[in-house]
Chains A and B, each alone.
Chain A
């Protein structure tokens, strides 16, 4: 199948330090990640002619947004032919997808694409505060949730999860195999935040956040920046490390763009993004060697497994329940770095970074055995969803 994606690769990846409380500024971390990615791609800063980020400056809880493109462009004095940052689009993946379209249309040759969070430092020791908590009045779409004390995406998505449990008989014991298996992977990742083994008993006895989500169903806020260089495929033969070829992007949103009014609460927008991705490629789910699927909450990963067709709709519970299929030596190694649940909430970009790492065979102790040829990456939850299919450049 010929598509614009054939003209695009990820030529380099980079990541700053990642930690629970780094006490460094977002721009400082971003520059670390950007310079690492530029060098990894075998380029210099002068070669970068495009820049993209998600969500752009401002907005969201403290430490959420990271620096916008003007701040990063100016810090590095980039001379760009194309630039974009914004929050509306196929989840965090919209930055990468926008960059890929700029490269695919010839607007830019090498786009610096990044996502930075400093939520651990900026939210301090007080734990995550609720969206809109403490303010007297709220407008816009949040008026339909915040007055009902649904102060967090945890509450919104718990409604989806509880419906899935009801409709398909999914259990906490099944859901828990996602964080438990990912924790095992994190034990092999020196950069992961939580590396001690987790048992089912640990999982079930952790404090409840909002049913059916317990503490270990929720990701861990961290500080860190991840950067990618999205390049023209012409450059792929010249990269120092193997490039990742862009096979297909998934961008659709065919249901209502709403957390609580989406037609099928058990699938959410992941259904549409995944369907549109498979419509753009001859590859099939059985071709995928490794899956890096967003886990802001464990349940989102289960939704992506179903949406991407690794199992049937509603079959996510049985698919993960013994943990074997999703282990490093299983049929579909999942979130091989530990995911956001154990390696920290790098907000989707950690998953992309890990997919490229696995395609290159650079995973060290956590490298999936055998040659990884195809990786699926997904970001987002609720009405936000975007996904990619990547392959190893040969």
Chain B
């Protein structure tokens, strides 16, 4: 199946786990092995306890919609408007947020606070985490 055009991330040692995580359908974030804090975007240290021992850990993939915008502007010739850009709050931690897109929902049905779950768009080796109504 041919997926729609997306600008994809450059993959390096710091972000590879995140962008390839969806291969097994699971979303992962970097987590502090000292205090359990999830760190996003990935960084070299836990900002809460200054622990350096961090590792990618799975999360449930459940989230709530924190904010959104329905984009109508043609910024790029490769894409069909309108589409929904979303800021989601991941269930595991209050300040664990992700900018993403909502899929499988009509723009006028989108409501802040709605429950969501992750789905991945396959751009092998990158799997882009998107969200749909749960």
Contacts and interface: CB of A to CB of B under 8 A. Distances in A.
* Contact count band on A: 35 or more
Interface in B69-103: 69-73, 75-79, 83, 85, 87, 95, 97-101
Nearest to B87: A159
A155 B76 contact: no
Contacts of A141: 41
Interface string B95-129: 10111110000000000100000000000000010
B55 interface: no
Contacts of A149: 6, 71, 75-76, 79, 83, 85, 101
A139 B19 CA distance: 12
A155 B85 contact: yes
B67 A163 contact: yes
B7 interface: yes
Interface stretch (A66-74, A202-210, A308-316, A354-362): A202-210
Contacts of A154: 73
Contacts of A211: 69-72
A147 B78 CA distance: 13
B9 A143 contact: yes
Contact of A162 (B9, B12, B112): B112
A159 B76 contact: no
A159 B85 contact: yes
Interface in A227-264: 260-261, 263
Nearest to B10: A139
Contacts of B128: 147-148
A134 B72 CA distance: 17
A162 B7 contact: no
A207 B76 CA distance: 18
B64 to A, nearest CB: 12
Contact of B72 (A147, A162, A207): A207
B127 to A, nearest CB: 11
Interface stretch (A24-32, A105-113, A125-133, A378-386): A125-133
Interface string B31-71: 00000000011000000000000000000000000111111
Nearest to B69: A158
A162 B83 contact: no
Contacts of B100: 148
A150 interface: yes
B85 A137 contact: no
Given A155-B71, A163-B66, A163-B112, A148 B101 contact: yes
B7 A132 contact: yes
A114 to B, nearest CB: 30
Contacts of A128: 75
A260 B79 contact: no
B59 to A, nearest CB: 16
Interface of B: 6-10, 12, 15, 40-41, 66-73, 75-79, 83, 85, 87, 95, 97-101, 112, 128
29 contacts: A132-B7, A137-B8, A137-B9, A138-B7, A138-B10, A139-B9, A144-B98, A149-B101, A150-B99, A151-B75, A154-B73, A159-B67, A159-B85, A159-B99, A162-B67, A162-B112, A163-B66, A166-B67, A166-B112, A207-B72, A208-B70, A210-B73, A211-B69, A212-B69, A260-B87, A260-B97, A261-B40, A265-B66, A265-B67
